[in-house]
Amino acid sequence: MTNEICEITCIHEEQVTNSKERLKNTNSKDLSSLFKILSDENRFKILHALAYEDQLCVCDVANIIGATMANTSHHLQSLKKLGVVDSKKIGKLVYYFSSDDRIVELINLGKQLEKGDSYE
């Protein structure tokens, strides 16, 4: 039987060092949290709707994603905590809106990737 354990600890030291330096300048925890939020289908649908509408009431969002008001409110609060949506109360209604236009860009990039389009 041959020894299948790698005896070399690092082949490309410069690339490893460069990658570690770039990661030091990246808030990987927050960035991975953003992508985790986007990986939930209902949250993605909410962000998609809010990306193209000025604002939507919780009940409207619930209708769009086909969920209960309680479930929708939970998703909206998670998105608000992350800072990608915000809300305002008008009378008894709470309206949500996108608080960062870059979310639209991210959604459009995702659509391009899903279609197999190039980055350009």
**Cα-only R_g, the chain:** 20
Q: For residue range 23-71, list pLDDT tens digits in order.
A: 898 888 878 877 888 889 999 999 999 998 999 999 999 999 999 999 9
Q: Report if residue 9 sits inside a domain.
A: no
- Average pLDDT (98-106) is 87
Domain residues for the domain of 53 are 30-115
Q: Report if residue 20 sits inside a domain.
A: no
Residue 73 pLDDT more than 90?
Answer: yes
pTM: 0.74
Domain count of the chain? 1
DSSP lists the bridge partners of residue 86 as 97
Q: Report if residue 48 sits inside a domain.
A: yes
Report the CATH number that the domain containing residue 98 is assigned in CATH. Answer: 1.10.10.10
Q: Report if residue 24 sits inside a domain.
A: no
Q: How confident is the model at residue 94 (pLDDT cuts 50, 70, 90)?
A: very high
Q: Report if residue 40 sits inside a domain.
A: yes
Q: Report if residue 14 sits inside a domain.
A: no
Q: Report if residue 45 sits inside a domain.
A: yes
Q: Report if residue 103 sits inside a domain.
A: yes
Distance, CA of 58 to CA of 73 (rounded, Å): 7
Distance, CA of 65 to CA of 118 (rounded, Å): 29
